[in-house]
Amino acid sequence: MNVLFVAAEAVPFCKTGGLADVAGELPRALLPLLPKKSKIISFLPKYAVIDAGKFKLEKSGDVLCHKDGEHWTCFTQNEKFYNRPGIYGEKGSDYPDNDERFSFYCRSALEFCKAAGFVPDIVHCHDWQTGLIPAYLKTLYAKDSFFKKTKSIFTIHNIAYQGNFPKASLEKTGLGWETYTPDKVEFYDHVSFLKAGLVYSDVVTTVSPRYAREIQTTNKFGRGMEGVLRHRPGRVKGILNGIDETNWNPANDPALDPKFSLKDKDLFEKRKAGKLKLQKEVGLAVDDKAPLVGMVTRLDPQKGFDMVAEMIPKISKSHPKVQWIVLGTGAPDIEKALEKLVVNLRGLLVFFKGFNDPLAHRIYAASDMFLMPSQFEPCGLGQMIAMKYGSIPVVTPTGGLADTVTLDKGFICPEISTPALHKTMVKALAAFKNKARWKTLMKKAMASDFSWKKSARQYAALYSKAAAVKSK
């Protein structure tokens, strides 16, 4: 079976969020589960941030290639579109020509297959940047015998990002005006790349069963696509993301000193040493008894910052020892709100603006609790990573948070609201005082199996099922 895996970001090459983790890790987990001699090729734009020398990219035809054993990643090149500092934009604003940048990407994914003689059984597309591929396959390439047996699977990692562009963008995509109708790519007088993916793909999936249900209900979750999804034959399947032990394992994490594992007799001492070290590094009072609450996240309203900004000062009044460490980048107004908290909380909250992978690893490893009160959360990797690293998640009951955090290893708000978050935080802080209970929670959390094994099996089954359907 040949699979073209298309996602606009992937570790280790470039990353802005969880999509990159999934796109980098899932193919590796999937390949051994596919029939013998199967091939998966990942396909990305060659952004300027991807260091061709470091990754030993080799030129092959029009693309650059990276070989990691059996798994290849190929990069489409375009000076005009990709030779800039950002992936999707800069300083909190999207690039205005993202319609052209990602139309080009989608076209070049299919043209790459033809040039390489790689006939895909499955093109697995992820998020709006790849939404035009299923549309191209069913329109511009519908009569192309090269793609006769190709099926497309579209995975929604976040339905809030839709790639909606003005009507005039349709011309730039190469699609004909007959596709500009409400049952195809038109969405409130815009061209929606996401909708193209949802409408034209053979199978639609998303990254947790709960989110699959949520996005078919109200506008809050479905963002206007709920009707489109409800009317799709077969609807939407939810397959939980996993996390990869090669990237996320406290026992051999190069960012940690000391490293630790659930098997260590001195696990708690080692973890404590890491916490004290981080407190020192970031300028918090060095005190093991002070509960340390971490956040590692994109700064986006999705992540519940309205509730966080109200809850933290309240908790600080009733629990003056609690320390907060936030690492994130994104919306300027959220950065400002956090900077205000830094001033108001005088030494109790530190905020690191930017993307910093090693610091992220240390926060997961050193914090006692991991705060993730999302308004909605397709899957969420942060809470899973936190649990594997012994940081107890405090989350809202939505999407993948609800599907992965259980009461024996975390705290779940009864609803999504500031009072509920405040109450749950108070409960977690009370539990933290009971050392024996806390250790039990930590051990349970660290023993969780969030590996890709189960999900990869589900994707492999889905690929086989989709490939077996006879093309019309």
Our finding on whether 24 is near ligand ADP (CB under 6 A) is: no
Q: What is the largest CA-CA distance in the chain?
A: 68
Which x/- pattern, by CB under 6 A, does the window 382-421 give for ligand ADP?
x--x------------------------------------
In the complex with ligand ADP, the residue whose CB is nearer, 298 or 457, is: 298
In the complex, what is the shortest distance from the CB of residue 282 to ligand ADP, in angstroms, rounded to a whole number? 14
d(CA 312, CA 319): 10
Nearer to ligand ADP, 107 or 124 (CB): 124
Residue 27, token pair as written in the block: 């193919």
Size of the site for ligand ADP (CB under 6 A): 19
CB neighbourhood size of 249 (10 A) = 15
Among 45, 42, 38, 77, smallest CA distance to 60 is for 77
**Residue 440 CB-half CA count within 13 A:** 8
Q: Which residues, numbered 230-249, are part of the site for ligand ADP (CB under 6 A)?
A: none
Our CB check for ligand ADP shows the closer of 186 and 244 to be 244
For β-strands 2-6 and 63-68, DSSP reports them as unpaired
163 lines the binding site for ligand ADP (CB under 6 A): no
Query: Across the strands, what pairs with 33?
Result: none
User: Which among 91-99, 133-141, 266-274, 290-298 is the span making contact with ligand ADP, rule CB under 6 A?
Assistant: 290-298
The CB-of-335 to ligand ADP minimum distance in angstroms stands at 11
Range 291-310, binding ligand ADP (CB under 6 A): 296-298
Nearer to ligand ADP, 170 or 225 (CB): 225
d(CA 67, CA 72): 5
Give the interface segment with ligand ADP, choosing from 132-140, 211-219, 311-319, 375-383 (CB under 6 A). Answer: 375-383
Quick one: tokens of 344?
Answer: 């108001």
411-412 vs 392-395, strand pairing mode: parallel
Candidates 15-23, 67-75, 132-140, 416-424 — which segment interacts with ligand ADP by CB under 6 A?
Answer: 15-23
> At 135, which amino acid appears?
A
**Which x/- pattern over 323-342 shows residues binding ligand ADP (rule: CB under 6 A)?**
----xxx-------------
Kindly state the smallest distance separating residue 296's Cβ from ligand ADP, in Å: 5
> Measured from the CB atom, is 44 or 379 closer to ligand ADP?
379
Of the residues 360, 394, 421, 442, which one makes contact with ligand ADP according to CB under 6 A: 360
Among 95, 355, 416, 444, binds ligand ADP (CB under 6 A): 355
242, 453 Cβ separation under 8 angstroms: yes
Rounded Cα distance, 79 and 461, in Å: 39
Q: How distant, in Å, are the alpha carbons of 1, 7, 205, 222 from that of 31?
A: 10, 17, 19, 32
By beta-carbon distance, which residue lies closest to ligand ADP? 18
Torsion over CA of 210, 415, 425 and 423, rounded to 10 degrees? -160
Least Cβ distance, residue 206 to ligand ADP (angstroms): 13
Q: Render the burial of 143-182: b for 16+ CB within 10 Å, e for the rest.
A: eeeebeebbbbbbbbbbbbbbbbeeebbeebebeeebeee
Instruction: Tell me the window of 145-153, 161-169, 271-279, 378-386 that interacts with ligand ADP (CB under 6 A).
Output: 378-386
Residue closer to ligand ADP (CB basis): 120 or 399: 399
Chain contacts with ligand ADP (rule: CB under 6 A)? 17-19, 21, 296-298, 327-329, 355-357, 360, 379-382, 385
